[in-house]
Structure 1
């Protein structure tokens, strides 16, 4: 059926009273839309989305419980979209615009004025009213109430939150809000007429009896809800569906024109990659002739090819083995099996997401089965500041200025950022996305428009990278989301180099919606071998396969080093006497700054360079720091691409955990604070990582053996006592168990009188991780009492974190037939990708982000001095909005304040002082980059006082905070 005809078939038989009911009104222009017109627009849009935009994976989930399969799914989707606003045919809604209400009164639809209606009107919002009207109509057509509520709740929740039973009862207690004054039935006749006519227009009458006995699972109910919301949002866009200026305005071709201007392209139609693993990987990633597929990559593709239905694949393999490439190729194959229409890669941080985005775009652009321009999205709050994302062409029509910007040949050949799919609630609906794990965890948070987040992932393959990086609080959300992904039959690929066996089992059980401790998952936890692949499909026994290692081995000599900065400086002076590059990884930024100061003093006047890297840099500086690290310490090809060069003179990089993951960098020597063993292994993965090509600096003779010096603890104590800052970040038990796991290696020595022993990567990774995180006691006998006390305390803390996470945690899918009434009751309201929003799915405590600006001695406000590419020292007005470019630079100068400034006893004072820097002109819509942001204004020397603390910022060291007392 042409998408126009829904409105035609709906309007033709309607009475004058039904045609007078209004749905949309614009106060500025006086334009309006009758309800029947909006119903037709919404139905036509839903039909188009079903036919052209929804992936087969989603259509299959919606339809599998329906007697007529996908044909029934389409009919229901179109019909629910058509009737979603039936609640506007009530006095509680219609009284809001007096002129339109008066026109309705003239046709017998009596109602009080909005003032006469009073506050009771809020008891019957039109979504909830629509649910009540639709359920009553279905009951009149012979449906039991329970069955009717399954579909009624889709209408009731189309503004983001399905009503609760109490809400519905409150509305029913005020029938005048729904049906007008007592003793009249005109409202009910018009409501029934609109619903009857919609049923005829959508040709569903002959199917009602069969549908009345359907017990619809909750996942398809959620997807129906999301599809109705998307259809409503598109049909409510006045730039696409203009309002009428008078009742008789023509609308021929209206829906077709709107959908053409919308420009949503058909999604990816995946095909199973053909050929050998070598051929597939070489084609997808443009390998040169000398690059060979690694065993874990070959096994991952074979495992995906062996899954004849959607499931979860867990890939455990060492750092640098090409897990990301393996995941993307496996995702391509799994997508072809499931009918997915895209892929989302979830990562721990914005920095890792930015790095992944260009890799994802390159891979997506090489895929077969892309129909026109696929939409892509960088899913985190600062995506607009990312040059790769901001530089993408836009697809469709920009509603703000009606300028058509067709997608040109962008990265990956035709990828585009679609104009309508921008924004915090719609962006994830794009075909391909890379972003922070929060975007996935939000699908487990009871919040407004949660159904949209479910639709966003239900049509994709989901890749969860760095799975070991998430704590108990986040894992509580992740496991809930995995249970829904399993119910949606979404293929999932999980990646980790250091995954505890117990966590591997929990992931598989969550995805398969199995009871914790189910016997059939014992093999997943007890599996031996590394690398390891685990395949899990709901309803089937999981499979675990040990994979041949690639043969890449690095023997890392480990040694304890006293936690004394002078000792560290003397040792590095000795180690780097013949040249080389050392990485010092500290667990806190405070320790980074302290170590850097001592090392700079020690090496002052020499050719040894000392730099720092941590997360407390302004965004622009942080990006430059990452780029510099890759240009100097990255793979030879990346160094050449960025125009860098390996240092000829000794170099020391003092870093926080930012050097621990995702940055592909290589050092000759590592010094690391004691950390949980999986994270220490990740840090060791930065040692001797790359083979040096011709023309590259050779490793100094003294550093040709990879060595790791472990500090950050009082080693003389039994057991050792970790640094207090490290204990605050990681808690004592994981630190002590890491020390216990490494102790036998440290005691072994090398047989030649040298202190310390060796860790062989990757051979020792699995054994160390499982020992440190397993249930069995480890470490010397004299450590056991303290280790046991730390373990018990840790388990109590983790249980409390899990319980805290459940406050707004979505429940698992309920039994089939249970409606979405109360689905997100007692939720958080709107969940956004802001520090406060992210704190809802992360155990991050209070967080406060500020924009760093400088006030010159002459009083002029500027961006930070010294920012590259002409971005530093730009003058900023305070009595009007900054220019687009200046505002963007200011927004990219954000930094998160450290704990001393966000501690509970000081944060109110900090916010109060920062709010003194408020410029009213910057809160205007034209200042969108900086509106609502807190500003930390530094003086000429980039210093200030804040809440009694001295604050200093430099491009060399980032933000430093010291107690002024």
Structure 2
């Protein structure tokens, strides 16, 4: 208990709270395992007798019982102390639900509190009181006098639980805190534990180096980057919103601003949140070389998502036996649990890892603590504005601000309503001048938006042309490939993408395919090939076509001469168009295979809408990916404009397409159904998010992450592909890694209609993995079962 308290002291040093309160939190952290002083815990250890009550539940009962003595020493209201007792006791990721009434009527002969005290034993009750008395003497200046109201203690209860959980995980490490002979002098032991805690915190990788004033970039700044280098920073927690077109250097602008915020004391580390694992991997590669310039010494660094260990750059960093002293990377302790990823000085990962701090999942407070000392940078915010994730993101920003954190949000296409809601959630209020801040714009909470000059990307306006048949799209792509162009067709659904690439190959067109229904090993191989053929350093005239789904909107830095897109919401179309004539410095107009850039959109005519199947006949399954009303409004606005003029006209296009213009009568029912789904998703999010104002005991929960998802969608099943000889699809021997590299996900609804023959892996694998996957064999001819097949160059196919 004193080991953990010593660590807690080290971790609490930077907290900007009153010293007396800080010492009270350390004292309560020392008492977190008080319930182990009990007959029931001793019997469990010695005789393997099951416990009727867990030790941490008994901790709360003991603290409740001895509240008179604790209150005499610490002060504050009884209600406030009980909020903190619950936070100290519930350090295993969830609050106790045992003492529900929280009043002394619970203490009668039938009360649950009485049963817990009886289970602990009379001798333990007295010993716990003696321990409390000793610990009160170790922190005589601890005080809760300022916490005279329960409401004041509730925000602190979240902070205490997260802080204590991190301290408990470090202080329980036997390598840093080995067992030792009994020590009669508690003060002497605490003094020695403090020195061990100093070394342990340093070894764990959670101690943060000082920020550096080293210039991050050698190039001349673009307008948004210059604005971020010059903008006035308000006092206290701040939220900055960077809005600029794709390819304008928003990421570099955010890092320039983040460095200034670090130097101003608005954070001691960073967490960069992306919408997908692919975008996180890409950002990891992009930012890793910059990080040593941001700090005076090498920070700890983690890649935070479920498949981080399969990302080559991160795996090589982790496994490198001779990592340079000034190179950012993770410690062994940080790598040991995925929940510790947010405790690193710098984390780059998915938004889901951050949103788990905002839902009622186990150890949400640990993630809150990990984020609280960081500048939270959220990229591609528009992709997180769906009804469910939008509510969770608002919750995350609110609690981050309440914990003293600051944030930077970035987007090229965020709607006005979402922007206003996010500012209001952070605490800046929905300011009237946020409605039309111009574009591009840098907006900082508490200040008027700052218009920023366009980046001047030299591409010019994009002409928009509607295609009314897939055959026209195929013909245009065939012609473009013959002329040497790098061309792409972005399709809304995987099945349509597979059909399109098949049709192109039948015409003799060199065509590549990328979508989300590849086994991970194949997807990584395809991504590498596509980056080579269509990326920043591609050949001038490759004469190839890529058919892809939404995975190309933001995850890969690609540059196309010719683009066709299925009709999609306006924000998605603008994001896709950002990959068209992208790197003009490397491939100016004169070097392109076509005379001018144009966005060709496969779309029905928005003027003639004859029924609810308006888009289905042309787009197939891709018509069901987005709601019809949004598709119709986007088509109506875009084809009337006839062009995408960036950046000056982007905001007007986005707002018009996301507005409330009436839809044709035949689409009204579809719009009502979409509104119903939206309302249900929001209600689901409100049910799943933490209830910050209620404090840790009443506002948290203890279920697993899967019970409180960070995003909604159609249920998916994970298939692990096996070769006919029983080997993993990825090759080599069976392991957790080879299993995950052989995984592919597909719709549970579609798979449930098939007679899917499942196989058992030939070797023992962890239960958590086997229990959540279906292992299937791919025959030599690619068949898995009737109606389902798999090919390396096509992915999982429903036939």
Please state if 1:495 is matched with 2:410: yes
CA spacing shift, 1:562–1:224, aligned 2, 3 Å = same
Matched residue, 2:308: 383
2:250 matched to which residue of 1?
323
C-alpha spacing 1:394/1:138, structure 2 compared with 1 (3 Å): farther
Equivalent position of 2:389 in the other structure: 474
Aligned with residue 615 of structure 2, among 709, 721, 724: 721
Q: How does 1:726-875 map to 2 (within 5 A)?
A: 726-745=622-641, 757-776=642-661, 784-786=664-666, 790-811=670-691, 813-814=692-693, 819-824=695-700, 827=701, 829-831=703-705, 836=706, 840-855=709-724, 860-864=725-729, 873-874=731-732
Give the distance between the partners of 2:206 and 2:741, measured in 1 at CA.
Answer: 34
Counting only pairs closer than 5 Å after superposition, residues 283-298 of structure 1 correspond to structure 2 as: 283-285=215-217, 287=218, 291-298=219-226
In 1, Cα distance between the equivalents of 2:419 and 2:462?
26
User: Which SS does the other structure have where 1:166 is aligned?
Assistant: coil
Deviation of 1:513 (Å):
6.9
The structure-2 alpha-carbon separation of the partners of 1:923 and 1:178, relative to structure 1 and needing over 3 Å to count, comes to closer
Give 1:679-698 correspondences, 5 Å limit. 679-691=572-584, 693=586, 698=591
TM-superposed deviation, 1:302: 2.2
- Describe the superposition over 1:463-483 as per-residue Cα deviations: whole angstroms up to 9, x where unpaired: 110011121111111111111
Counterparts in 2 of 1:457 and 1:616: CA distance versus 1, 3 Å:
same
Cα–Cα, structure 1 residues 574 and 646, in superposed 2: closer, same or farther, change >3 Å? closer
- Could you tell me which residue of structure 2 aligns to residue 25 of structure 1? none
Aligned to 1:166: 100
Alignment partner of 1:679: what SS?
Answer: helix
**The one of 708, 718, 742 aligned to 1:893:** 742
Aligned with 1:699 (options 592, 617, 640):
592
2:467 counterpart of 1:561: yes
Deviations 1:548-599 (A, max 9, x none): 11222422222111233x3332333344443312111100010101111111
Instruction: Classify 1:246/1:136 alpha carbon distance in 2 versus 1 (closer, same or farther; 3 Å).
Output: closer
Q: Say which SS state the counterpart of residue 125 (structure 1) adopts.
A: helix
3-state SS, counterpart of residue 690 of structure 1: coil
Give the 3 Å change call, closer, same or farther, for CA 581–209 of structure 1 in structure 2.
closer
Q: Counterparts of 1:504 and 1:767 in 2: how far apart (Å)?
A: 15
Answer yes or no: is 1:464 the counterpart of 2:404. no
Question: Does structure 1 residue 579 correspond to structure 2 residue 507?
Answer: no
Going from structure 1 to structure 2, the CA distance change for 1:696 and 1:732 (only over 3 Å counts) comes to closer
The residue that corresponds to 1:409 in the other structure is 324
Q: Where does the alignment leave 5 or more consecutive residues of structure 2 unmatched?
A: none
Mapped to 2, the partners of 1:647 and 1:808 lie a distance apart of: 51
Aligned CA distance change for structure 1 residues 137 and 823 (closer, same or farther; 3 Å): farther
Tell me how far 1:196 sits from its aligned partner: 0.8
How far has the Cα of 1:257 moved from its partner?
A: 4.8
2:604 matched to 1:676?
A: no
Match of 1:332 among 254, 259, 266: 259
C-alpha offsets along residues 222-280 of structure 1, whole Å, 9 cap, x if unaligned? 1211122222222222333334689999989566457536613574455584xxxxxx7
Alignment of 1:345-424 (within 5 A): 345-370=272-297, 373-393=298-318, 408-409=323-324, 413-422=326-335, 423-424=337-338
Show the counterpart of 1:531. 440
- Tell me the CA shift for residue 409 of structure 1: 1.2
- Show the counterpart of 1:960: 797
Structure 1 residue 492, shift from structure 2 partner: 0.7
Does structure 2 retain, via aligned residues, the 8 Å contact 1:854–1:942?
no
Instruction: State the 1:678 CA deviation.
Output: 0.9
Alpha-carbon separation, structure 1, partners of 2:368 and 2:588: 51
Q: Return the alpha-carbon distance in structure 1 between the equivalents of residues 155 and 540 of structure 2.
A: 53
Does the 8 Å CA contact 1:87/1:131 hold for their aligned counterparts? no
Closer/same/farther in 2, CA of residues 342 and 181 from structure 1, 3 Å limit: closer
Residue 314 of structure 1, CA deviation: 0.7
Match of 2:6 in 1: 44
SS at match of 1:334: helix
Distance in 1 (CA, whole Å) between partners of 2:131 and 2:727 is: 60
- 1:513–1:715 CA distance, 2 compared to 1 (3 A): closer
- 2:779 paired residue number: 939
In structure 2, distance between residues paired with 1:671 and 1:705: 14
Query: TM-score, structure 2 length as denominator?
Result: 0.90
Q: Which of the numbers 38, 45, 57 marks the counterpart of 1:125?
A: 57
* Secondary structure in structure 2 of the residue aligned to 1:447: coil
Alignment partners' CA distance in 2, 1:317 and 1:585: 23
Which residues of structure 1 form unaligned runs of 5+? 1-38, 64-68, 100-113, 274-279, 396-404, 640-644, 746-756, 778-782, 865-871, 877-881
- Indicate the SS of the match to 2:469: coil
In 1, distance between residues paired with 2:628 and 2:739?
40
Gap change, CA 1:506 and 1:331, over 3 Å in 2: same
Contact 1:614 1:656 in 2 (8 A): yes
In the TM superposition, 1:875-886 aligns within 5 A as 876=733, 882=734
- The 1:656–1:828 alpha-carbon spacing in structure 2 relative to 1, beyond 3 Å, is farther
Alignment of 1:268-283 (within 5 A): 268-271=208-211, 273=213, 283=215
**CA distances 1:668-714 after superposition (whole Å, capped 9, x unpaired):** 111110000111111111111112648999322xx121122111436
Q: Distance in 2 between matches of 1:819 and 1:595?
A: 53
CA distance in 2, matches of 1:663, 1:692: 18
CA contact (8 A) 1:135 1:152 kept: no
Q: Give the superposition deviation at 1:190.
A: 2.1
Change (3 A) 1:361 1:204: same
3-state SS, counterpart of residue 591 of structure 2:
coil
Indicate whether 1:613 and 2:514 are aligned: yes
The residue correspondences of 1:108-257 to structure 2 (distance < 5 A) are 120-121=52-53, 125-139=57-71, 144-164=77-97, 165-166=99-100, 173-174=111-112, 177-180=115-118, 186-204=123-141, 207=143, 216-243=152-179, 256-257=195-196
Between the aligned partners of 2:56 and 2:651, the Cα distance in structure 1 is 59
- Cα separation, partners in 2 of 1:894 and 1:434, compared to 1, 3 Å: same
User: Which of 534, 551, 568 pairs up with 2:456?
Assistant: 551
Aligned residue pair count: 781
| RMSD, aligned α-carbons | 3.3
